């Protein structure tokens, strides 16, 4: 029995400090992303989420420049970008993607400049890789309280606005008639998305954090229709993908070709996608039979 266990969990898995930090932060972030992501998917804001994730690269690279923790850069810039997107009108369906894309392009342009300065003026090599693709095993344990605090903020927004947000996601007109401020609800929801994306930028990297936001929620929406249950399922799926990803990355240390471990982010993304495809299967089989 212990032999089988040691095959699954490579020796030293539970004793390793970085792994513990990765499991804790990764887990928290996955749960938050799943819950917030449910609304992002319901409201058709996958693109906004992805753009916010991309833009957080700007914050990450800027924070390397001034020498603060990248987390603050991620959070600050993506909340700011969410405000800009709301201002130039992402709440209208027509032209929404265009406005989102323009903000993203401008943000990434700045990121290019910051990364260039990072490379020339400060001697941080590898900043590009860390920011873009994350490095879960190098998170310092001191950020855990901040991560918890920001997670609570994101979940708090969604929990407070649960009913009006749900109503305005399903039918904006109905919500308006019932006296919901659709605009305000949308802006706050986008802020929650920005927080969630910034948090997962820390763990699986800025340009991959869309995976945790959209994937688990979309999979959960295939499994059930009840909004509360969707959130719970999304959190569970995200958590499973993250923890399995950490485990596989730890095990992959002796795998070919490089014998230096495969990136955690790759495993997390691949698992999220696999879950999504699996959830499609029943519908596919039903369609084949009919």
Partner 1 sequence: MFSGYLLNTWTVATIAAVVAGVVGFFIVLRGSAFVADAVPQGAFAGAAGASLLGINTLIGLGVFALIGALGIGWLGRRGRHDVATALALVVMLGLGALFLSFSVEYAPEIYSLLFGELFGVGTAEVAPVAVLGAVSVAAIIVMYRPLMLTSVMPELGEARGVSSYRIEMCFLVVVALATSMTLPVVGALLIFSLMIGPPAAARSVTNRPYLAMCLSVIIALVTVWAAIALSLMTNWPVGFFVGTFGACCYAAGRGWAAWRRRRAVRDDMDRPLAPQPVSQN
Q: Counting contacts by CB under 8 A, is residue 33 touching partner 1? A: no
For residue 223, the minimal CB distance to partner 1 (Å) is: 13
Cβ atoms within 10 A of the Cβ of 68, count?
A: 12
Residue with smaller CB distance to partner 1, 125 or 181: 125
Q: Is the dihedral of CA 63, 128, 109, 85 positive or negative?
A: negative
> Buried b / exposed e across 100-122, counting CB within 10 Å, b at 16+?
beebbeebbebbeebbeebbeee
Nearest partner of 74 among 194, 157, 224, judged by Cα:
194
Residue 121 binds to partner 1 (criterion: CB under 8 A): no
Among 20, 125, 138, 171, binds partner 1 (CB under 8 A): 125
82 binds partner 1 (CB under 8 A): no
E strands, 79-231, are: none
Question: Is residue 185 at the binding interface for partner 1, with CB under 8 A as the rule?
Answer: no
CA distance 88 to 3: 59
| Closest approach of partner 1 to the CB of residue 1, in Å | 33
By CB under 8 A, tell whether 262 contacts partner 1. yes
Neighbours of 129 (CB within 10 A): 12
Question: For residue 265, what are the CA distances in angstroms to 64, 73, 177, 206?
Answer: 21, 20, 44, 10
Q: Is 46 in the site for partner 1 (CB under 8 A)?
A: yes
| The token pair that represents 168 in the structure block | 């305005």
Going 184 to 159 to 213 to 16, the CA torsion angle's sign is: positive
Cβ proximity to partner 1: between 180 and 264 the closer is 264
Between 140 and 280, CB nearer to partner 1 = 280
State the nearest-atom distance from the C-beta of 189 to partner 1, in Å: 16
Interface with partner 1 (CB under 8 A), residue from 24, 102, 143, 244? 102
Of 6, 12, 20, 44, the residue at the interface with partner 1 (CB under 8 A) is: 44
Contact set with partner 1 (CB under 8 A): 41, 44, 46-47, 49-51, 54, 88, 94-95, 97-98, 100-113, 115-116, 119, 125-126, 128-129, 132-133, 205, 207-208, 210-211, 214-215, 218, 222, 257-258, 260-263, 265-266, 268-270, 272-273, 276, 280, 283-284
């Amino acid at each position: 029995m212990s032999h089988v266990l040691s095959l699954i969990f490579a020796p030293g898995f539970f004793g390793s400090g970085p792994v513990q930090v990765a499991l804790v932060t990764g887990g928290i972030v996955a749960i938050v992303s799943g819950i917030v992501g449910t609304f992002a998917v319901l409201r058709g804001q996958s693109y906004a989420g992805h753009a916010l994730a991309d833009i957080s690269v700007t914050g990450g690279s800027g924070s390397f420049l001034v020498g603060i923790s990248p987390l603050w850069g991620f959070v600050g810039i993506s909340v700011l970008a969410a405000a800009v997107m709301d201002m130039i009108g992402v709440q209208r369906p027509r032209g929404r993607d265009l406005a989102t894309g323009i903000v993203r392009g401008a943000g990434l342009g700045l990121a290019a400049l910051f990364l260039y300065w990072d490379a020339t003026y400060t001697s941080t090599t590898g900043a590009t890789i860390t920011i873009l693709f994350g490095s879960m095993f190098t998170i310092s344990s001191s950020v855990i309280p901040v991560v918890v605090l920001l997670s609570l903020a994101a979940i708090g927004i969604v929990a407070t606005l649960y009913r009006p947000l749900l109503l305005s996601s399903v039918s904006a007109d109905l919500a308006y008639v019932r006296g919901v401020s659709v605009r305000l609800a949308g802006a706050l929801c986008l802020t929650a998305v920005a927080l969630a994306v910034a948090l997962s930028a820390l763990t699986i990297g800025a340009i991959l954090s869309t995976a945790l936001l959209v994937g688990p929620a979309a999979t959960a929406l295939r499994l059930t229709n009840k909004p509360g249950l969707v959130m719970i399922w999304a959190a569970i799926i995200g958590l499973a993908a993250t923890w399995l990803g950490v485990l596989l990355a730890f095990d992959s240390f002796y795998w070919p070709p490089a014998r230096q471990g495969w990136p955690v982010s790759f495993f997390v993304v691949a698992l999220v996608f696999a879950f999504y495809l699996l959830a499609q299967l029943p519908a596919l089989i039903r369609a084949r039979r009919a």
